[in-house]
């Protein structure tokens, strides 16, 4: 599995090497991001752009944090473990996105 493919999570505490999402959504996160970026660049129509990397990270990171915090019922310790971050880093990111 490449580092850009999201694993399927059947059990919230286990991950699978399977990169396909459940049947209700057969598009991978990677595919969704790729299509969104292709659309973004098509709309630019050759206009100069910068900081795309940072833009993409912030667009993905904010909803990721929102969903994880909801999933863990705002338990920062559980959210940090789930995300693989230390709690201080999680708090910094939550503040950055106005979630704390």
According to the CATH classification, is domain 50-100 in 3.40.120.10? no
- DSSP labels for the chain? --TTSPPP-SSTT---S--PPPTT--S-HHHHHHHHHHHHHHHHTT-----HHHHHHHHHHHHHHHHHHHHTTT-HHHHHHHHT--HHHHHHHHHHTT--
Domain range summary for the chain, segments of one domain joined by +: 1-47, 50-100
Q: Quick one: average pLDDT of 48-69?
A: 95
Instruction: Give me the chain's average pLDDT, please.
Output: 84
pLDDT digits (tens, 9 = 90+) for 14-48: 444 445 555 566 889 899 999 999 999 999 988 99
Query: pTM of the entire structure?
Result: 0.66
């Amino acid at each position: 599995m490449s580092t850009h493919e999201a694993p399927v999570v059947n059990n919230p505490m286990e991950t699978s090497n399977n990169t396909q999402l459940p049947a209700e959504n057969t598009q991978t996160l990677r595919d969704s991001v790729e299509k969104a970026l292709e659309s973004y660049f098509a709309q630019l129509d050759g206009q100069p752009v910068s900081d795309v990397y940072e833009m993409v990270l912030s667009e993905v990171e904010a909803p990721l944090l929102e969903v994880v915090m909801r999933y863990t019922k705002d338990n920062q310790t559980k959210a940090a473990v789930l995300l693989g971050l230390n709690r201080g880093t999680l708090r910094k990111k939550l503040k950055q996105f106005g979630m704390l």
